[in-house]
Amino acid sequence: MSEIAKKYEIDKALEALGIQKENLGSSTGVEFFSNGEFIESYSPVDGAYIGKVKATTEQDYEKVAATAFEGFKAWRNWTAPARGEVVRQFNDELRRLKAPLGKLVSYEMGKSYQEGLGEVQEMIDICDFAVGLSRQLYGLTMHSERPGHRMYEQWHPLGVVGVISAFNFPVAVWSWNTALAWVCGDACIWKGSEKTPLTSVACQKIAARVFEKNNVPAGISSLVTGDYKVGEYMTNDERLPLISATGSTRMGKIVAQTVAKRLGKTLLELGGNNAIIVTPDADIKNTVIGAVFGAVGTCGQRCTSTRRLIIHESVYDQVKNAIVDAYQQIRIGNPLDENNHVGPLIDKDAVTAYLQALQKVKEEGGNILVEGGVLKGEGYESGCYVKPAIAEAQNHFEIVQHETFAPILYIMKYEVDIKNAMELQNGVRQGLSSAIMTNNLREAEYFLSAEGSDCGIANVNIGTSGAEIGGAFGGEKDTGGGRESGSDAWKIYMRRQTNTINYTTELPLAQGIKFDL
């Protein structure tokens, strides 16, 4: 155990979460089993070994899936409020273990401890939402055209839901899906990221203890671990009517095609290329805060991270200078030290992608305003710490058109009016999050209109990053079209059924059709 791990008592956090460092693997509940090879987890914070988890084999997966499918048959017959009570107890455990789980998220993924705590808070919030939802799984009633008939719709549990999540939010995105799916009556099989396996095991253990206490059928919360091959087991499995996948657009297209071949459903949360538009009427102070956090928070590894800053020519130099000045105040280092703003990238592959992106923007004619680079020396031994960079660029640059999961902010100028800015913002294939900074009501309303932002999230006077669970989360175009979390996102985890009841002694047909015998 490294000096950082000792200082911040990572061992105590693992102990509080019930995690052993060795021989963990797939799970259908309390039992952990696997015959696969070990996946070792190293912290990007200091490069230290944390623990290892066994990968799920095809035989392991079959056991998990079969157990989940059988468990669902019983779970779907529990009342929704009874399922909600189990989620409430799970939520109580998350509240109790918020600090150690947040610490593990920070240490294994590399985001700041405050962001780690915030991620666990998202889990708590979605559980609160789900418990309330368990008494509000409503349908509609409709008037029938036939006398003596009643029509209504109801929602039934869908089945076994497959959840594939990414390293950048190693626990929250799982909970967005499972908390809702559980109260809807579904079982869940979760493949967490192989880059953050211990956080997945921690969450599974918490759920397993609560579920065992409440005699929940085995398999309702299941965990599988490993690389893309494990994901393929899930996407090809006809027992899983829904696959919820978070990751790159490339990955999402593969998942979508595979699941579509068997006529399954997908919920896709894919790449973002998010922009903030800064108008002449913007509050510059708030703009700087929103843009800097959006660009460097989680070391630029959020799907909602701010990638582009589109500034009106009249305030371009003022905003540019203020942003550059703010970057000089950013403190980079151990994310468990709450004095620091930015931690490391997830691994050295991410560092390589970051350096390639900086080189590419130079080759395309961009102007580097804040130099990037890899940090070395004491405190940076993992080799995963990089400097947040800013480059003046054009929207049509190839590198600007693609998402780089790193703290690189591209700034550019727009002329004339908000319509020109909208063309730039919408001129990328991704459509997740967007924002406008303005005190002009007309500009704000235009931004939110059908002609305005084409993203699933459109914010006014806040940044692109930091969604609340009350609203549906997701985006359009290459972002995949999925919606998770709040609003009516619960409906994708259920199947809709339309019912018509005839309470007369006659059998009239719809549309007035006559069929007499």
Type of residue at 381 = E
Rounded-to-integer distance, Cα 370 and Cα 367, Å: 9
Indicate if the alpha-carbon torsion angle 394, 397, 403, 409 is positive or negative: negative
Q: Active-site residue numbers?
A: 269, 303
Q: How far apart are CA 91 and CA 105, in angstroms?
A: 17
- CA–CA distances in Å: residue 230 to residues 120, 191, 392, 477: 26, 8, 41, 27
d(CA 216, CA 75): 7
| Helices 58-75, 228-235: inter-axial angle, 10-degree rounding | 40
Q: At what angle do helices 98-109 and 113-133 cross, to 10 degrees?
A: 130
The per-residue DSSP string of 332-379 comes to: BS-TTSTT-SB---SSHHHHHHHHHHHHHHHHTT-EEEE---B--STT
Whole-number Cα distances in Å, 411 to 152, 295, 324, 387: 52, 11, 11, 17
Q: Are 53 and 25 spatial neighbours (Cβ–Cβ below 8 Å)? A: yes
CB atoms under 10 Å from CB of 162, counted, come to: 30
Q: How many helices (H) and strands (E) does the chain have?
A: 16, 23
Q: Is 191 left (phi over 0), alpha (psi -120 to 50) or beta?
A: beta
- Cα 168-172-175 angle, rounded to 5 deg: 140
Name the phi and psi angles at 437, rounded to 5: -110, 110
Phi/psi for 294 (5° steps) reads -60, -35
Euclidean distance between CA atoms 347 and 324, whole angstroms: 26
